[in-house]
Amino acid sequence: MIMTSSLSFQPVLERIAEEIEHTPGRGRPADYIPALAARDPRSFGMAVAELDGTVYGVGEWREPFSAQSVTKVFTLALDLAREGDELWEHVGREPSGNPFNSLVQLEYESGIPRNPFINAGALVVTDRLQTRTGDAAGTLLEFLRDESGNPEVDFDAEVAASEAAHGDRNAALAHFMASYGNIDNAVPLLLDQYFRQCSIRASCADLALATAFLARHGVRADGSRLLSRSQAKQVNAVMLTCGTYDAAGDFAYRVGLPGKSGVGGGIVAVVPGRCTLCVWSPGLDDRGNSVAGVAALDRFTTLTGLSVF
């Protein structure tokens, strides 16, 4: 089925939700973050946002959830808009092939993270945004509220505290990079900003709308330009190759869209020039991606024919 009209989005979403409901094996929530461990792995929501702000959804698409690493897309865009290509001197653009919190690769590569979406890379980007704004997490929150049109998008203090209490690996990554001169701010300040960033609660509708600037080639909801067309292309490209941890190749094969996942169970995806999507289901596979979320996006591109390939 090739979709020819936006009116077809809602029936497609409803069909996907029905199929997902009858799919066995939904993975497990992120039990290493206690505040996320209690989420029902069978929860499911999905939203599609068109370029004009029209949103379609099914399931729990207006239920706020912990965005976690999905926020790394927005932090990357906000810093890239401020410093341009200088950012890429401090973080790479290549798939890691290792777990998202790996220390091993950093030592081989002298404290330069492989890409902005593994934890080490996201710490570098947050650090650089902190230097330029004085409040990286607050800048991110303001952006998400503006783009989603929802002033209730907010930090989750319980999740941030839970991550801080179990954040030794992230602290080790930050200290290790600081030893190579690749971190500007004090590590405790950086970690506080990073954990707050990851704790943001937003719904599928909120995140689909907030991601739409990438489908509009860098243009925000109010018509102002955040990124150049070339920079928007860069962010989408890194999402495609690095956005789903060490399963990016499989995601590209199955879904065929730039995407970014988080261990809260959310995934955002971009159809450049057409629409953006966000799907949420807390049950994860062993690489940290939502089982139902990947399946739903796979079905979306199959049913609609919308893909970058």
Q: How far apart are CA 197 and CA 144, in angstroms?
A: 11
Q: Binding site annotation covers 194?
A: yes
Rounded to whole angstroms, how far apart are CA atoms 93 and 28? 29
| 107 has binding-site annotation | no
**Which phi and psi angles does 265 have, rounded to 5°?**
100, 0
In the three-class reduction of DSSP (H, G, I as helix; E, B as strand; rest coil), residue 290 is classed as: strand
Can you give 154-208 as a three-state secondary structure string? ECCHHHHHHHHHCCHHHHHHHHHHHHCCCCCCCHHHHHHHHHHHHCCEECHHHHH
Residue 108 assigned as binding residue: no
- The answer to whether 170 is annotated as binding is yes
239: amino acid identity, one letter:
M
**Residue 248, φ and ψ in degrees, nearest 5:** -65, -35
Residue environment code for 251-269, b if the CB has 16+ CB neighbours within 10 A, otherwise e: bbebbbbbbbbbbbbbbbb
Q: What one-letter code names the amino acid at 162?
A: S
**Tokens representing 280?**
């949420």
Q: What is the residue whose two structure tokens read 């159809």?
A: 271
224 is in an annotated binding site: no
Asked whether residue 182 is marked as a ligand-binding residue, the answer is no
Torsion sign across C-alpha atoms 124, 128, 134, 137: negative
Neighbours of 157 (CB within 10 A): 11
Nearest in space to 176 (alpha carbons), one of 114, 115, 111: 111
Residue ranges at the known binding site for substrate: 69, 119, 163, 170, 194, 245, 263
Q: Which residues are annotated as a binding site?
A: 69, 119, 163, 170, 194, 245, 263
